[in-house]
C-alpha cells in the first residue's frame, strides 16, 4: 500500500508540536466545542484528504529506524547453530550504516540504491508481519 517515500524528520517542528502544540491544543479544547474530535478534521476537507493520503503512502523515518533497532527476536526450535538467523533489525541498521558511508564517500548512485533497498525491506517485512 505504501510507496516507500520516507518523511524527512524535523527536530524543530517535532519539539514545537510536543511543547507549544500541546498547550495550544489544551486551550483550544477548553474554548472551542468539538475541537479535537475525529470529525473536526473535515472542517478543512482538502487538508484532511491530503494528510490522510500522505500518512498512508509514506514511511516515518524515526519509526522505521526505531523498529529496525528493536526488531523482534526470533525463537528457533532447533539447537543447531547453523540454523540461527540474525534479527532483521540488524540488517536494517547495517544497510543504514552502509548508506551513510556511501553518502560520505560521494557514491550517490549506490547510496540511492541502498535507500530504495531499505524501503523495500521494511515494506516486505511489514507485509510478512501482517500475514
Sequence ranges of the domains in the chain: 5-74+83-130
Q: How far is CA 119 from CA 8, 32, 61, 103, in A?
A: 14, 41, 10, 17
- Residue 88, pLDDT score: 62
pTM (predicted TM-score) = 0.38
**Tens digit of each residue's pLDDT (9 = 90 or more) over 85-96:** 556 667 777 777
Task: Give the tens place of pLDDT for each residue, 24-79.
Answer: 888 988 998 888 887 777 788 888 888 888 888 888 877 877 777 776 544 444 44
Amino acid at each position: 500500500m505504501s510507496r516507500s517515500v520516507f518523511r524527512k524528520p524535523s527536530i524543530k517542528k517535532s519539539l514545537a508540536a510536543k511543547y507549544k502544540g500541546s498547550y495550544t491544543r489544551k486551550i483550544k479544547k477548553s474554548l472551542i466545542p468539538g475541537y479535537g474530535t475525529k470529525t473536526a478534521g473535515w472542517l478543512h476537507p482538502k487538508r484532511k484528504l491530503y494528510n490522510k493520503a500522505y500518512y498512508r503512502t509514506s514511511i516515518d523515518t524515526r519509526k522505521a529506524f526505531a523498529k529496525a533497532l528493536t526488531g523482534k527476536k526470533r525463537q528457533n526450535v532447533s539447537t543447531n547453530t547453523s540454523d540461527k538467523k540474525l534479527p532483521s533489525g540488524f540488517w536494517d541498521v547495517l544497510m543504514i550504516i552502509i548508506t551513510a558511508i556511501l553518502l560520505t564517500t560521494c557514491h550517490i548512485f549506490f547510496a540511492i540504491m541502498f535507500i530504495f533497498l531499505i524501503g523495500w525491506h521494511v515494506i516486505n517485512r511489514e507485509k510478512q508481519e501482517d500475514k
